[in-house]
Amino acid sequence: MSFLWTSEDLVAAMGGRPLGPMPEGISGISIDSRSLEPGDAFFAIKGEAMDGHDFATAAIKAGAGVLVVAEGKLPSLGRLTAPMIVVQDVLAALEKLGLAARARSNAKIIAVTGSAGKTTTKEALRHVLSAVGKVHASAQSFNNHWGVPLTLARMPVDCDYAVFEIGMNHPDEIRPLAKMVRPHVAIVTLIAAAHLGFFRNLDEIARAKAEIFEGLEPDGAVLLNRDDPRWKLLDKMARAAGVEHIYGFGENARATFKLLECALHADHSIITAKIGGQEITTRVGAPGRHMV
C-alpha cells in the first residue's frame, strides 16, 4: 500500500513525539472528523469557534490512523486508544508538514489569488492539467492560514502539477502563504471591492494581492488581468519583487494571451484567442462570459 506520509516522515517533519504503536503510514490528512476517511491523520486544530481536540473520540470512531494533538491538551483527552503524535501547536505542526511536502515535491506549482474567480480558475486549471499529468489542487476554497498548509500537506509526492488558492482579508496575509507554497506561476484574476471593509481603496487591495509575487520561485512567471484598471500597479509591484516574466490576459490589445471573439450559448461558449502568435478557436464547456 502506498501512503501519503509514512509515520516516520510524519513525525520527523513536525518534530513531534509519538505516543503508542504508530501505523506504518497514513493515507490522508483531515481536520474534520465528519469527513475523515479511515487511515487519515486527524489534526486537532483549535479554531475561533471550535477545538479539534473536542472531536478526538469522533475521529477515532471514524477510523483515524493517528491523532496529532497539542501537548497542553493531553490531560483533557483522557485514555484514548488511538496512536498520537504530540506537538506544541497543531496548526504550527501542520505548517511544518506543508513545508516538508513542498520541499519533497518536483511538481510545477500554480498559485491563484484575486478578489473573485479564484476557485473557478483553480478548477479550470485542474481540469486542463489533468489531461497531461497528475494534478493536486485545493479542496473547495481552502485558501487561508490553515487551508493552504493543509492543501500542501495533502500534496502527493508524485503529482506533476499542484494548484493553490491563496486568499486574504487583511494586509500581510498572502505573503507568508505564498512563501510557503513557492509557486512557479502566480495568477491574479482581478481586483474588486470584495475586501473594502478592511481596506481604504482598491489600490490597497491590489498591493495586498501583490504579496503573492514575493513567494514566486526564481525565474517564475506572473499572469495578470490586462483589462483590470490596476494592471499597471500590479505590473509595477511584480517588477519591484524581481519578477522578470510578466504576462497579461484579456481583451486588451497588448495582452499576451488575447481574447479575440466570444460566442455565448446556453450551455457553452466558442472562443477565439491569440496565444503565442497563433489564433486558436475552442469550446469552453461551461456557460457564461465569466467562464471565458
Distance of CA 143 to CAs 12, 73, 114, 166, 174, Å?
26, 27, 11, 5, 9
Which band of pLDDT confidence, cut at 50, 70 and 90, is reported for residue 81? confident
How many of the other CB atoms lie within 10 Å of CB of 205?
A: 23
Measure the CA–CA gap between 168 and 180, rounded to whole angstroms: 15
pLDDT digits (tens, 9 = 90+) for 63-74: 999 999 999 999
Task: Specify whether domain 105-255 bears CATH 3.40.1190.10.
Answer: yes
pLDDT for 78 = 87
Residue located via cell numbers 496565444: 275
pLDDT for 290 = 84
Residue range 121-130: mean pLDDT, rounded: 95
Using the Cα atoms of residue 72, residue 77, residue 79 and residue 83 in order, give the sign of their dihedral.
Answer: negative
pLDDT > 70 in the chain, percent:
99
**Which of residues 102 and 290 earns the better pLDDT score?**
102
Please give the radius of gyration of the chain, using alpha carbons only, rounded to the nearest integer. 21
DSSP per residue over 171-208, as a string? TTSHHHHHHHH--SEEEE----GGGTTTSSSHHHHHHH
pLDDT for 91 = 98
pLDDT for 285 = 87
Measure the CA–CA gap between 117 and 90, rounded to whole angstroms: 31
Residue range 53-60: mean pLDDT, rounded: 97
Instruction: Tell me what the pLDDT averaged over the chain comes to.
Output: 95
Domain extents in the chain: 5-90, 105-255
Residue range 146-169: mean pLDDT, rounded: 97
Q: Is 148 helix (H, G, I), strand (E, B) or coil?
A: helix
Q: Which three cell numbers stand for residue 219?
A: 525565474
Q: Which three cell numbers stand for residue 239?
A: 517588477
pLDDT for 2 = 87
CATH topology for 5-90 is: 3.40.1390
Query: Is the pLDDT reported for residue 222 higher than 80?
Result: yes
- Asked if residue 206 lies in contact with residue 233, where contact means CB atoms within 8 angstroms, the answer is yes
* Cα within 13 Å of Cα(227), Cβ side: 10
Q: Is 257 helix (H, G, I), strand (E, B) or coil?
A: strand
Residue range 106-119: mean pLDDT, rounded: 96
Residue range 150-174: mean pLDDT, rounded: 97
